[in-house]
Amino acid sequence: MFGTLKGDIQAALDRDPAATSVLEVILAYPGFHAICFHRIAHWLHRRRLRLLARLLSHVGRFLTSIEIHPGAQIGRGFFIDHGMGVVIGETTEIGDNVTLYQGVTLGGTGKEREKRHPTIGDNVVIAAGATVLGAVTVGDNSIVGAGAVVIHPVPPNCTVVGVPGRIVVREGKKVPTIDLHHERLPDPVAEMFNAIHRRLDRLEHKVEEVRENKVEGGKEG
């Protein structure tokens, strides 16, 4: 557990330029505090000390404003930046080197007791206010844009934006490292309007050519 927490500290230092020291992360990062509470609560949860695990999780939520169910499985190098309002459900599975921003919800659907929360792959970045609902999988190296709502599976190496979430191919290139530039996302709606605008320009130009040809033909007649 302590080795895993050491990796969580290093993740904060690597991914947050505001983090200046190990001591600062330990003392002043609610995202790190939340994962500390969760690591212990999850250990208790696996040993069927469910009530004690929930109580500890509740204390962590009160102190950090981050709610992580003790049953959630979270890999190494996990980092929650800021973290206010983050919610992670019971059957959520999170891989290694995952980054969440404030307001992210990894939520469930229905009242089933089996798998009902998302599975998040390795090196995934989920931006502020995004929601992933149900037992869907977000593949390795993918990015979920701010405010997106993901309700369908996302393949690896993809970017998802919009409501509901739409997959935007990133030039077919695999993301080699953890890409934290979640502000540099394409806008498929704007791209659609730009395509319509270009098509209208071509049609107007064509109509103008036909009109000029008719005028010239009338003069010759």
CA 16, 132, 116, 177 torsion-angle sign: negative
Class for the domain spanning 2-185: mainly beta
Note the pLDDT tens digit of each residue in 52-99. 999 999 999 999 999 999 999 999 999 999 889 999 999 999 999 999
What pLDDT is recorded for position 3? 75
**pLDDT tier at 179, thresholds 50, 70, 90:** low
Is-contact 115 135, C-beta < 8 A? yes
Q: Where are the beta strands (DSSP E) in the chain?
A: 67-68, 73-74, 79-80, 87-88, 93-94, 99-100, 105-107, 119-120, 125-126, 131-133, 137-138, 143-144, 149-150, 158-161, 166-169
Per-residue confidence band for 199, with pLDDT thresholds at 50, 70 and 90 = confident
Count Cβ atoms below 10 Å from residue 149 Cβ, excluding itself: 16
pLDDT surpassing 70 at residue 172: no
Give pLDDT, residue 142. 92
User: pLDDT value at position 165?
Assistant: 85
pTM: 0.76
Residue 32: pLDDT over 80 = yes
Least confident of 33-37, 67-71, 105-109: 105-109
CB atoms within 10 A of CB 58: 14
* Mean of the per-residue pLDDT values of the chain: 86
